[in-house]
Every structure is written in structure tokens, then in C-alpha cells.
Amino acid sequence: MSMPMLGEKFPQIEVQTTHGPMKFPDDCQGKWTVLFSHPADFTPVCTTEFVSFQKHKADFEALGCELVGMSVDQVFSHIKWVEWIKEKLDVEITFPIIAGNDRIAEQLGMLHPAKGSNTVRAVFIIDPEGVTRTILYYPQEIGRNIPEIVRAVKALQKSDADGVATPANWPENELIKEHVIIPPATDEKSAKERMEKYTCFDWWFCHKPE
């Protein structure tokens, strides 16, 4: 098993979760998946993240995307923490949480020695074929922006479906709003045709409505 790289198959792992044993990512085959690690159960920032992931679960489901959490805490700790969140915050966590170990966390690049012995806040977006499409790392002291992860899944799906790229802050870009970007021209003929077919700042920067 090696650290995941963009465009490569995510490493296969067999793990225990709060929903039972899982072969990951095989058990999520055919669906988009967001695997996210957190430093530790019963910590404030992680708790706010789990509540936010749960509250945005419907947004992920609308994109055909599964959520899977993970830390190196044991499964009984995950179960108790989920119970605490339900009891104290009235939020029921309905996605599985992997009980990882140091070997898995290290191999997946989740352990950064200079940041301590806990897993950092890693995010892996994996496509239905099990290919790693996006990797994000956050330090323990910064909670993640969950709507940005939803946006990333949506943008990847748009790119795959239409063969386009998405601009910064899409679909609310400051230059081209909700438009998407046409891939670069590969020859002089197509460069000229693009200027006539699309809205362009120049032949190398053309865009069209979503």
C-alpha cells in the first residue's frame, strides 16, 4: 500500500467502522466518495466538522456521493462520540467512521510527524472507479469548509461530464460567473474556430454557459 496520488487507484484497505467491517474503497464502488480523517474524537473542532458534514449529507447524496470518516481512535470511542453528539447536540451522525491505525494513517499520508501523533485533517475525493481525484490537507487548528468539498465534487462531475474546466470560486467566479472553461486549443485551426464559437478573452481563454 502506498500513499494515494491524484489519478491513481486509491489503496485498498480492510477496516472496522461504526457500521461494521468495510473493504474500502471497494464497498463504495460505483459511487463518488469523500473519505475524511480527523485528529481525534471528543475534540471541539472535529465535533463542529462532523456536525457540518452531517448537515450537508443531503448535498453530497444529491451528487451520488458517500461520506466516510476516519481517525486512529478505536471503534468504541467513535461509537461513544457519535452517541454524545446525538445526546448533547441533537445531531445524528449517519455515515460510517473508520477505526484506523497508525500504519494505515501513515500509508495514506494522514500522519505528519511535525504536527503530532494524531491524524491531520485529510480529505480524499474518490470517483466511482476508485480513482483518487482530489486530496486536501488541513492542520489540526483549522476546521474545514464543508461546502467547498461539496463544490469540489460537483466541479469534478461537471468536468467529467462535459470535458470542461471550472474557474476559481465556480459557479460564482468574478470574471465569468457560472460559465465553464473550454480546454486549450491543440492547433491553429481550432484556435481560430474557438474565437467564433465561444465567448473568449483570447483564443486560449474561452468559456461558455454551464
What are the catalytic residues?
A: 46
Reduced to 3 states (helix: H, G, I; strand: E, B; else coil), residue 105 is helix
| 125 neighbors 154 (Cβ within 8 angstroms) | no
Helix (H, G, I), strand (E, B) or coil at 110: coil
Q: What is d(CA 118, CA 140) in angstroms, rounded to the nearest whole number? A: 9
User: Whole-angstrom Cα distance, residue 133 to residue 142?
Assistant: 23
Burial class (CB in 10 A: 0-12, 13-18, 19+), 65: buried
Phi-psi sector, 177: left (phi>0), alpha (psi -120 to 50), beta: left
* Per-residue b or e along 161-187, where b marks 16 or more CB atoms closer than 10 Å to that residue's CB: eeebebbeebbebeebeebbbbeebee
Ramachandran sector of residue 109 (left: φ over 0; alpha: ψ -120 to 50; beta: rest): left
